[in-house]
Protein backbone atom coordinates (compact mmCIF):
# COMPACT_ATOMS: atom_id res chain seq x y z
CA UNK A 1 0.00 0.00 0.00
CA UNK A 2 2.78 2.43 0.82
CA UNK A 3 4.64 1.74 -2.40
CA UNK A 4 1.77 2.33 -4.78
CA UNK A 5 1.44 6.15 -4.65
CA UNK A 6 5.16 6.66 -4.92
CA UNK A 7 5.45 4.46 -7.98
CA UNK A 8 2.65 6.38 -9.60
CA UNK A 9 4.40 9.68 -9.01
CA UNK A 10 7.66 8.42 -10.41
CA UNK A 11 5.95 7.12 -13.56
CA UNK A 12 4.23 10.48 -13.99
CA UNK A 13 7.53 12.29 -13.55
CA UNK A 14 9.15 9.92 -16.01
CA UNK A 15 6.40 10.56 -18.55
CA UNK A 16 6.59 14.30 -18.17
CA UNK A 17 10.35 14.19 -18.62
CA UNK A 18 9.80 12.27 -21.83
CA UNK A 19 7.27 14.82 -22.97
CA UNK A 20 9.55 17.73 -22.12
CA UNK A 21 12.29 16.08 -24.06
CA UNK A 22 9.85 16.20 -26.97
CA UNK A 23 11.00 12.80 -28.05
CA UNK A 24 8.15 12.17 -30.40
CA UNK A 25 6.91 15.68 -31.07
CA UNK A 26 7.97 14.96 -34.64
CA UNK A 27 4.82 12.93 -35.34
CA UNK A 28 2.34 14.83 -33.21
CA UNK A 29 1.11 16.51 -36.38
CA UNK A 30 -0.63 13.22 -37.21
CA UNK A 31 -3.32 14.51 -34.82
CA UNK A 32 -4.41 16.54 -37.87
CA UNK A 33 -6.10 13.32 -39.01
CA UNK A 34 -8.85 14.18 -36.53
CA UNK A 35 -9.43 17.66 -37.95
CA UNK A 36 -13.16 18.02 -38.64
CA UNK A 37 -13.65 18.28 -42.40
CA UNK A 38 -15.97 21.24 -41.80
CA UNK A 39 -13.11 23.29 -40.29
CA UNK A 40 -12.36 26.20 -42.61
CA UNK A 41 -8.67 26.58 -43.33
CA UNK A 42 -8.58 29.82 -45.23
CA UNK A 43 -7.49 32.32 -42.59
CA UNK A 44 -4.21 32.42 -40.71
CA UNK A 45 -5.95 32.37 -37.34
CA UNK A 46 -7.31 28.91 -38.19
CA UNK A 47 -3.76 27.55 -37.78
CA UNK A 48 -4.00 27.90 -34.01
CA UNK A 49 -7.04 25.60 -33.96
CA UNK A 50 -5.09 22.72 -35.45
CA UNK A 51 -3.98 20.11 -32.96
CA UNK A 52 -0.47 18.68 -32.66
CA UNK A 53 1.58 21.38 -34.40
CA UNK A 54 4.80 22.76 -32.94
CA UNK A 55 5.39 26.54 -33.16
CA UNK A 56 7.40 26.35 -36.38
CA UNK A 57 4.67 24.26 -38.02
CA UNK A 58 2.03 26.81 -37.03
CA UNK A 59 4.28 29.36 -38.74
CA UNK A 60 4.45 27.21 -41.87
CA UNK A 61 0.67 26.86 -41.73
CA UNK A 62 0.29 30.65 -41.68
CA UNK A 63 2.58 31.16 -44.64
CA UNK A 64 1.29 28.16 -46.65
CA UNK A 65 -2.41 28.08 -45.83
CA UNK A 66 -3.33 26.66 -49.23
CA UNK A 67 -1.26 23.57 -48.42
CA UNK A 68 -3.00 22.70 -45.18
CA UNK A 69 -5.93 20.71 -46.56
CA UNK A 70 -3.37 18.50 -48.26
CA UNK A 71 -1.37 18.14 -45.02
CA UNK A 72 -4.54 17.14 -43.13
CA UNK A 73 -5.27 14.61 -45.86
CA UNK A 74 -1.71 13.27 -45.54
CA UNK A 75 -2.17 12.74 -41.78
CA UNK A 76 -5.33 10.73 -42.50
CA UNK A 77 -3.46 8.67 -45.08
CA UNK A 78 -0.69 7.88 -42.58
CA UNK A 79 -3.14 6.61 -39.95
CA UNK A 80 -5.13 4.54 -42.43
CA UNK A 81 -2.10 3.12 -44.23
CA UNK A 82 -0.16 2.30 -41.05
CA UNK A 83 -3.13 0.39 -39.62
CA UNK A 84 -3.68 -1.49 -42.85
CA UNK A 85 0.00 -2.36 -43.32
CA UNK A 86 0.29 -3.75 -39.80
CA UNK A 87 -3.13 -5.40 -39.46
CA UNK A 88 -1.51 -8.85 -39.57
CA UNK A 89 1.11 -8.07 -36.92
CA UNK A 90 1.09 -8.23 -33.13
CA UNK A 91 1.77 -4.49 -33.04
CA UNK A 92 -1.01 -3.31 -35.32
CA UNK A 93 -0.50 0.47 -35.25
CA UNK A 94 -3.81 1.02 -33.44
CA UNK A 95 -2.08 3.37 -30.97
CA UNK A 96 -1.40 5.87 -33.75
CA UNK A 97 -5.00 6.98 -33.27
CA UNK A 98 -4.01 8.46 -29.92
CA UNK A 99 -2.05 11.26 -31.60
CA UNK A 100 -0.84 13.66 -30.27
CA UNK A 101 -0.71 11.81 -26.93
CA UNK A 102 1.10 8.65 -27.85
CA UNK A 103 1.82 5.69 -25.61
CA UNK A 104 5.33 4.45 -25.03
CA UNK A 105 5.36 2.27 -28.17
CA UNK A 106 5.56 5.47 -30.19
CA UNK A 107 7.06 7.83 -27.59
CA UNK A 108 10.35 5.98 -27.37
CA UNK A 109 12.83 5.56 -30.18
CA UNK A 110 11.51 2.14 -31.19
CA UNK A 111 11.38 0.26 -34.46
CA UNK A 112 7.67 1.04 -34.57
CA UNK A 113 8.23 4.77 -34.26
CA UNK A 114 10.95 4.51 -36.94
CA UNK A 115 8.33 3.10 -39.31
CA UNK A 116 5.79 5.80 -38.45
CA UNK A 117 8.35 8.60 -38.98
CA UNK A 118 9.34 7.14 -42.34
CA UNK A 119 5.75 6.61 -43.45
CA UNK A 120 4.75 10.11 -42.31
CA UNK A 121 7.58 11.74 -44.24
CA UNK A 122 6.79 9.69 -47.34
CA UNK A 123 3.05 10.32 -47.07
CA UNK A 124 3.16 14.08 -46.73
CA UNK A 125 5.44 14.44 -49.77
CA UNK A 126 3.37 11.87 -51.69
CA UNK A 127 0.12 13.68 -50.98
CA UNK A 128 1.55 17.09 -51.94
CA UNK A 129 3.13 15.71 -55.13
CA UNK A 130 -0.23 14.21 -56.14
CA UNK A 131 -2.15 17.36 -55.21
CA UNK A 132 0.10 19.28 -57.64
CA UNK A 133 -0.94 16.86 -60.37
CA UNK A 134 -4.65 17.16 -59.72
CA UNK A 135 -4.42 20.95 -59.68
CA UNK A 136 -5.46 21.30 -56.05
CA UNK A 137 -2.52 23.55 -55.13
CA UNK A 138 -1.88 27.04 -56.48
CA UNK A 139 1.91 26.84 -55.89
CA UNK A 140 2.68 23.95 -58.21
CA UNK A 141 1.56 21.98 -61.22
CA UNK A 142 2.77 18.91 -63.12
CA UNK A 143 6.30 17.65 -62.59
CA UNK A 144 8.94 18.28 -65.29
CA UNK A 145 9.03 16.33 -68.54
CA UNK A 146 12.17 14.16 -68.53
CA UNK A 147 14.97 15.14 -70.91
CA UNK A 148 15.55 11.71 -72.42
CA UNK A 149 13.13 10.12 -74.87
CA UNK A 150 10.87 7.39 -73.49
CA UNK A 151 11.66 5.11 -76.44
CA UNK A 152 10.07 4.26 -79.81
CA UNK A 153 6.28 4.16 -79.79
CA UNK A 154 6.19 6.12 -76.54
CA UNK A 155 5.97 9.85 -75.96
CA UNK A 156 5.88 12.02 -72.90
CA UNK A 157 2.51 13.54 -72.08
CA UNK A 158 0.00 13.61 -69.32
CA UNK A 159 0.87 15.14 -65.98
CA UNK A 160 3.78 13.88 -63.91
CA UNK A 161 3.56 13.77 -60.11
CA UNK A 162 5.50 16.76 -58.81
CA UNK A 163 7.92 14.83 -56.60
CA UNK A 164 10.30 17.79 -56.33
CA UNK A 165 7.68 20.11 -54.87
CA UNK A 166 6.30 17.34 -52.67
CA UNK A 167 9.72 16.65 -51.16
CA UNK A 168 10.48 20.35 -50.74
CA UNK A 169 7.28 21.30 -48.94
CA UNK A 170 6.68 17.96 -47.24
CA UNK A 171 10.09 17.83 -45.59
CA UNK A 172 9.82 21.47 -44.52
CA UNK A 173 6.66 20.65 -42.63
CA UNK A 174 7.34 17.17 -41.26
CA UNK A 175 10.99 17.82 -40.29
CA UNK A 176 10.22 21.15 -38.59
CA UNK A 177 9.94 19.66 -35.05
CA UNK A 178 13.37 18.05 -35.40
CA UNK A 179 14.94 21.33 -36.53
CA UNK A 180 13.98 23.17 -33.34
CA UNK A 181 17.27 24.09 -31.68
CA UNK A 182 16.68 23.81 -27.98
CA UNK A 183 14.14 21.10 -27.29
CA UNK A 184 14.64 17.37 -27.23
CA UNK A 185 17.57 14.99 -27.25
CA UNK A 186 20.02 15.42 -30.10
CA UNK A 187 20.28 11.67 -30.55
CA UNK A 188 16.55 11.23 -30.97
CA UNK A 189 16.34 14.05 -33.45
CA UNK A 190 19.15 12.57 -35.52
CA UNK A 191 17.35 9.24 -35.55
CA UNK A 192 13.99 10.77 -36.50
CA UNK A 193 15.55 12.81 -39.29
CA UNK A 194 17.34 9.75 -40.60
CA UNK A 195 14.16 7.64 -40.62
CA UNK A 196 12.19 10.45 -42.27
CA UNK A 197 14.86 10.58 -44.98
CA UNK A 198 14.53 6.81 -45.46
CA UNK A 199 10.81 7.33 -46.00
CA UNK A 200 11.47 10.00 -48.64
CA UNK A 201 14.07 7.78 -50.26
CA UNK A 202 11.47 4.99 -50.56
CA UNK A 203 9.09 7.53 -52.08
CA UNK A 204 11.70 8.62 -54.66
CA UNK A 205 12.40 4.98 -55.49
CA UNK A 206 8.71 4.47 -56.23
CA UNK A 207 8.67 6.93 -59.10
CA UNK A 208 7.93 4.93 -62.24
CA UNK A 209 6.87 5.35 -65.82
CA UNK A 210 3.12 5.11 -66.31
CA UNK A 211 1.58 4.95 -69.76
CA UNK A 212 -1.76 5.13 -71.48
CA UNK A 213 -2.60 3.60 -74.85
CA UNK A 214 -3.74 5.55 -77.88
CA UNK A 215 -4.24 4.73 -81.50
CA UNK A 216 -6.99 3.51 -83.80
CA UNK A 217 -9.56 1.53 -81.76
CA UNK A 218 -7.19 0.88 -78.90
CA UNK A 219 -4.41 -0.50 -81.07
CA UNK A 220 -1.91 1.04 -78.70
CA UNK A 221 0.31 2.22 -81.56
CA UNK A 222 1.19 5.26 -79.49
CA UNK A 223 1.63 5.35 -75.76
CA UNK A 224 1.58 8.56 -73.73
CA UNK A 225 3.74 8.30 -70.64
CA UNK A 226 4.51 10.29 -67.54
CA UNK A 227 6.40 9.80 -64.29
CA UNK A 228 4.04 8.77 -61.52
CA UNK A 229 4.47 7.68 -57.92
CA UNK A 230 3.31 4.30 -56.72
CA UNK A 231 0.40 4.16 -54.31
CA UNK A 232 1.20 4.94 -50.69
CA UNK A 233 0.19 1.42 -49.58
CA UNK A 234 2.93 -0.02 -51.81
CA UNK A 235 5.51 2.39 -50.41
CA UNK A 236 4.32 1.38 -46.92
CA UNK A 237 4.94 -2.29 -47.77
CA UNK A 238 8.47 -1.40 -48.85
CA UNK A 239 8.97 0.41 -45.54
CA UNK A 240 7.53 -2.55 -43.63
CA UNK A 241 10.27 -4.74 -45.10
CA UNK A 242 12.81 -2.20 -43.86
CA UNK A 243 11.05 -2.16 -40.48
CA UNK A 244 11.53 -5.92 -40.21
CA UNK A 245 15.25 -5.59 -40.88
CA UNK A 246 15.79 -2.31 -39.00
CA UNK A 247 19.13 -1.71 -37.31
CA UNK A 248 19.65 -0.89 -33.66
CA UNK A 249 22.03 2.02 -33.24
CA UNK A 250 23.94 3.77 -30.47
CA UNK A 251 25.36 7.25 -30.51
CA UNK A 252 29.06 7.87 -30.52
CA UNK A 253 30.62 11.25 -30.00
CA UNK A 254 32.69 12.21 -33.04
CA UNK A 255 34.57 15.39 -32.30
CA UNK A 256 31.89 17.95 -31.45
CA UNK A 257 29.16 16.01 -33.22
CA UNK A 258 27.11 13.04 -32.23
CA UNK A 259 26.90 10.22 -34.63
CA UNK A 260 24.68 7.16 -34.88
CA UNK A 261 26.34 3.85 -35.59
CA UNK A 262 25.01 0.28 -35.70
CA UNK A 263 25.15 -1.22 -32.22
CA UNK A 264 26.43 -4.70 -32.99
CA UNK A 265 28.52 -4.17 -36.08
CA UNK A 266 29.78 -0.64 -35.67
CA UNK A 267 32.53 -0.99 -38.22
CA UNK A 268 30.17 0.34 -40.85
CA UNK A 269 28.17 3.57 -40.94
CA UNK A 270 24.37 3.57 -40.99
CA UNK A 271 23.06 3.06 -44.54
CA UNK A 272 20.79 5.64 -46.16
CA UNK A 273 18.23 2.95 -46.89
CA UNK A 274 17.85 1.34 -43.47
CA UNK A 275 15.51 2.27 -40.66
CA UNK A 276 17.20 2.71 -37.30
CA UNK A 277 16.07 2.60 -33.69
CA UNK A 278 17.55 3.15 -30.24
CA UNK A 279 15.19 1.18 -28.01
CA UNK A 280 14.29 -2.46 -28.39
CA UNK A 281 10.58 -3.22 -28.47
CA UNK A 282 8.79 -5.80 -26.37
CA UNK A 283 7.37 -8.83 -28.20
CA UNK A 284 3.86 -7.27 -27.84
CA UNK A 285 2.49 -10.62 -26.63
CA UNK A 286 1.21 -9.49 -23.23
CA UNK A 287 -0.43 -6.28 -22.15
CA UNK A 288 2.12 -4.01 -20.48
CA UNK A 289 1.36 -0.34 -20.57
CA UNK A 290 4.77 0.60 -19.23
CA UNK A 291 6.34 -0.46 -22.50
CA UNK A 292 3.39 0.44 -24.71
CA UNK A 293 2.27 -3.11 -25.41
CA UNK A 294 -1.45 -3.85 -25.83
CA UNK A 295 -0.96 -7.60 -25.97
CA UNK A 296 -2.69 -9.89 -28.44
CA UNK A 297 -5.47 -11.32 -26.29
CA UNK A 298 -8.74 -11.34 -28.29
CA UNK A 299 -6.93 -10.51 -31.52
CA UNK A 300 -8.19 -12.40 -34.53
CA UNK A 301 -5.75 -14.91 -35.98
CA UNK A 302 -5.63 -17.07 -39.10
CA UNK A 303 -5.43 -20.81 -38.56
CA UNK A 304 -4.31 -21.63 -42.10
CA UNK A 305 -1.76 -18.86 -42.55
CA UNK A 306 1.89 -19.42 -41.74
CA UNK A 307 2.73 -15.72 -41.68
CA UNK A 308 2.70 -13.24 -38.80
CA UNK A 309 -1.12 -13.46 -38.56
CA UNK A 310 -1.03 -17.22 -37.97
CA UNK A 311 -2.61 -18.28 -34.70
CA UNK A 312 0.71 -19.66 -33.57
CA UNK A 313 2.63 -16.41 -33.93
CA UNK A 314 -0.18 -13.96 -33.20
CA UNK A 315 -1.18 -15.72 -29.99
CA UNK A 316 2.43 -16.31 -28.88
CA UNK A 317 1.72 -19.99 -28.27
CA UNK A 318 -1.08 -19.32 -25.75
CA UNK A 319 -3.68 -20.99 -27.96
CA UNK A 320 -6.89 -19.63 -29.43
CA UNK A 321 -10.65 -19.90 -29.21
CA UNK A 322 -12.90 -20.57 -32.19
CA UNK A 323 -16.12 -18.68 -32.72
CA UNK A 324 -18.76 -18.64 -35.41
CA UNK A 325 -19.18 -15.56 -37.52
CA UNK A 326 -21.91 -14.81 -40.04
CA UNK A 327 -20.87 -13.30 -43.34
CA UNK A 328 -23.39 -11.83 -45.74
CA UNK A 329 -22.55 -12.15 -49.41
CA UNK A 330 -24.12 -11.30 -52.73
CA UNK A 331 -25.24 -14.48 -54.46
CA UNK A 332 -27.49 -15.88 -57.23
CA UNK A 333 -26.67 -12.84 -59.33
CA UNK A 334 -28.65 -12.41 -62.54
CA UNK A 335 -27.79 -10.21 -65.48
CA UNK A 336 -30.72 -8.32 -66.97
CA UNK A 337 -30.74 -6.98 -70.52
CA UNK A 338 -29.81 -4.09 -70.55
CA UNK A 339 -27.82 -3.30 -68.32
CA UNK A 340 -28.06 -4.20 -64.71
CA UNK A 341 -27.44 -7.04 -62.30
CA UNK A 342 -29.59 -8.17 -59.41
CA UNK A 343 -28.32 -10.32 -56.58
CA UNK A 344 -29.71 -11.99 -53.52
CA UNK A 345 -28.10 -11.85 -50.13
CA UNK A 346 -26.89 -15.12 -48.71
CA UNK A 347 -25.64 -15.79 -45.23
CA UNK A 348 -22.79 -18.13 -44.58
CA UNK A 349 -21.35 -19.18 -41.25
CA UNK A 350 -17.56 -19.26 -40.99
CA UNK A 351 -15.31 -20.32 -38.17
CA UNK A 352 -12.91 -17.69 -36.91
CA UNK A 353 -10.33 -17.65 -34.17
CA UNK A 354 -9.23 -15.24 -31.46
CA UNK A 355 -6.17 -15.47 -29.25
CA UNK A 356 -6.53 -16.66 -25.68
C1 LIG B 1 -13.44 30.60 -45.69
O2 LIG B 1 -14.17 29.41 -45.89
C3 LIG B 1 -15.48 29.45 -45.37
C4 LIG B 1 -16.10 28.08 -45.47
O5 LIG B 1 -15.53 27.31 -46.48
C6 LIG B 1 -16.28 30.51 -46.16
O7 LIG B 1 -17.61 30.57 -45.65
C8 LIG B 1 -15.60 31.86 -45.97
O9 LIG B 1 -16.25 32.85 -46.76
C10 LIG B 1 -14.12 31.78 -46.39
N11 LIG B 1 -13.46 33.04 -46.04
C12 LIG B 1 -12.57 33.62 -46.82
C13 LIG B 1 -11.94 34.86 -46.30
O14 LIG B 1 -12.29 33.20 -47.93
C1 LIG C 1 -5.27 -3.95 -32.90
O2 LIG C 1 -4.77 -4.30 -31.64
C3 LIG C 1 -5.52 -3.82 -30.56
C4 LIG C 1 -4.77 -4.16 -29.29
O5 LIG C 1 -4.48 -5.52 -29.22
C6 LIG C 1 -6.92 -4.40 -30.62
O7 LIG C 1 -7.71 -3.89 -29.55
C8 LIG C 1 -7.57 -4.04 -31.94
O9 LIG C 1 -8.82 -4.67 -32.07
C10 LIG C 1 -6.68 -4.46 -33.08
N11 LIG C 1 -7.25 -3.96 -34.32
C12 LIG C 1 -7.47 -4.75 -35.36
C13 LIG C 1 -8.08 -4.08 -36.57
O14 LIG C 1 -7.21 -5.93 -35.36
C1 LIG D 1 -5.85 -17.02 -43.89
O2 LIG D 1 -4.62 -17.25 -44.56
C3 LIG D 1 -4.77 -17.94 -45.79
C4 LIG D 1 -3.37 -18.27 -46.29
O5 LIG D 1 -2.49 -17.16 -46.20
C6 LIG D 1 -5.57 -17.08 -46.75
O7 LIG D 1 -5.72 -17.72 -47.98
C8 LIG D 1 -6.92 -16.76 -46.13
O9 LIG D 1 -7.65 -15.88 -46.95
C10 LIG D 1 -6.80 -16.17 -44.75
N11 LIG D 1 -8.09 -16.09 -44.09
C12 LIG D 1 -8.56 -14.96 -43.54
C13 LIG D 1 -9.90 -15.05 -42.88
O14 LIG D 1 -7.92 -13.92 -43.55
C1 LIG E 1 4.33 -21.51 -45.60
O2 LIG E 1 5.56 -22.16 -45.30
C3 LIG E 1 6.07 -22.95 -46.37
C4 LIG E 1 7.30 -23.70 -45.89
O5 LIG E 1 7.73 -23.27 -44.66
C6 LIG E 1 6.36 -22.08 -47.58
O7 LIG E 1 6.85 -22.84 -48.65
C8 LIG E 1 5.09 -21.37 -47.99
O9 LIG E 1 5.35 -20.48 -49.05
C10 LIG E 1 4.47 -20.62 -46.83
N11 LIG E 1 3.18 -20.11 -47.23
C12 LIG E 1 2.82 -18.85 -47.03
C13 LIG E 1 1.47 -18.48 -47.47
O14 LIG E 1 3.56 -18.04 -46.51
pLDDT at residue 18, rounded to an integer? 47
pTM value is: 0.87
Is the sign of the CA dihedral 22, 25, 26, 27 positive or negative? positive
From atom 9 of ligand 4, which residue's Cα is the shortest distance away?
A: 306
Query: Can you tell me which atom of ligand 4 is nearest the CA of 305?
Result: 13
**How much is the pLDDT for 244?**
96
With a Cβ cut-off of 6 Å, ligand 1 is lined by: 40, 42-43
According to DSSP, residue 143 is labeled B
**pLDDT averaged per 10 residues, the chain (length 356):** 42 46 76 89 89 93 94 96 96 92 87 96 97 93 88 88 96 92 77 96 95 80 91 97 94 75 79 93 91 91 94 95 93 89 92 95
Residues 109, 23 contacting (CB under 8 angstroms): yes
Strands (E), 142-196: 154-156
Q: Which of 162, 229, 173 is nearest to 196 (CA)?
A: 173
Q: Which of 84, 88, 301, 302 to mutate to test the pocket of ligand 3 (most atoms within 8 A of CB)?
A: 302
Where does ligand 3 bind, in terms of residues with CB under 6 Å? Answer: 302, 304-305
Q: Which atom of ligand 1 lies closest to the CA of 42?
A: 1
Ligand nearest to the CA of 300: 2
At residue 149, the pLDDT reads 85
- Among 40, 43, 46, the mutation site with the greatest number of ligand 1 atoms within 8 A of its Cβ is 40
- Residue 303 alpha carbon to ligand 3 centre in Å: 8
For residue 141, the number of C-alpha atoms closer than 13 Å in the C-beta half-sphere is: 4
* Ligand whose nearest atom lies closest to the CA of 306: 4
In the chain, what are the domain boundaries?
Answer: 24-295
Closest ligand, as measured to the CA of 37: 1
The span from the CA of 323 to the CA of 37, in Å, is 38
Instruction: Report the alpha-carbon distance of residue 148 to residue 233 in Å, rounded.
Output: 29
Per-residue pLDDT of 75-100, as tens digits, reads 999 999 999 999 999 999 999 998 89
Closest Cα partner for 114 from 293, 275, 283? 275
For residues 23 and 106, give the distance between their C-alpha atoms in angstroms, rounded to a whole number: 9
What residues are in contact with ligand 4 under a 6 Å CB criterion? 306-307
Amino acid sequence: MTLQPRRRVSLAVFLSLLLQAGISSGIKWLALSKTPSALALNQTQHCKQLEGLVASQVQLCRSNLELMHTVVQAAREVVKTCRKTFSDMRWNCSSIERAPNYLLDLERGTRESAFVYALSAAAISHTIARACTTGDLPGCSCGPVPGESPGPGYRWGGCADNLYYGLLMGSKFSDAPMKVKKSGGQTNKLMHLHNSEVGRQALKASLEMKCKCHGVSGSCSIRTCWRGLQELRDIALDLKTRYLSATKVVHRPMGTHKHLVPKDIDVRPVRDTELIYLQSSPDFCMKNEKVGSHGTQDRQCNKTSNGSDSCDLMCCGRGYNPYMDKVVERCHCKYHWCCYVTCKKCERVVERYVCK
